[in-house]
Amino acid sequence: MSDVVVEPLAGLTLIHFTLTSAILFAIGLIGFVSRRNLIVMFLCTELMFQAAAIAMIAFGRYHLDVSGQVFVIFILTIAAAEAALALGLVVLLYRRRETLSAEAWSELGEP
């Protein structure tokens, strides 16, 4: 019976994981705002998804509840759908302007 690990986050606390997740989220936000390449901007949104997933799983572990992990499955689904659509759009946009710069589309219209 003793091999079932129940000590909450043995030696670590919830704060360690939520702080890591907050730092990753902030880095993703900074990247999304400051980078000008469309592909890298979408990569930064994936980084923010990743940070949210770490927080969800840490909270689930704290309460010894698997709903956190189930939510991460949905995050993966949304991330996959977003990547498929966003990257399809990026390829279309690239074909039109021959550049990946986000500023090429700041006017949102046909040239």
Partner 1 sequence: MAPNVLYTSCVLGAIAVYLLLRPGHRAVKTVGIVLGLGALGWVARESTAALGTPAEGLPTPFFAVFSLIAIASALRMITHHRPVFAALYFVMVVLSSAGLFLMLEAEFMAFALIIVYAGAILITYMFVIMLAQQAPVPGQESGEAEYDVIPREPAAAVAVGFIMLALLSETIFSGTPQLPPPPTANEHLTASWELLNALPDRVEDAVRREVPDFESFVAEPSDRVRVIDGQAYVDIQVAGVREPQQLGLPPEVLPENIERVGLALIADFPVSLELAGVILLMAMYGAVVLARRQIEASVLDEGGGAR
Considering only residues 73 through 92, tell me which ones interact with partner 1, judged by CB under 8 A.
73-74, 76-85, 87-92
- Indicate whether 52 belongs to the interface with partner 1 (CB under 8 A): no
Nearer to partner 1, 64 or 108 (CB): 64
* Per-residue three-class SS string for the chain: CCCCCCCCCCCCCHHHHHHHHHHHHHHHHHHHHHCCEHHHHHHHHHHHHHHHHHHHHHHHHHCCCCHHHHHHHHHHHHHHHHHHHHHHHHHHHHHHHCCCEHHHHCCCCCC
27 part of the interface to partner 1, by CB under 8 A: yes
Position among 10, 109, 110, 111 found at the interface with partner 1 (CB under 8 A): 10
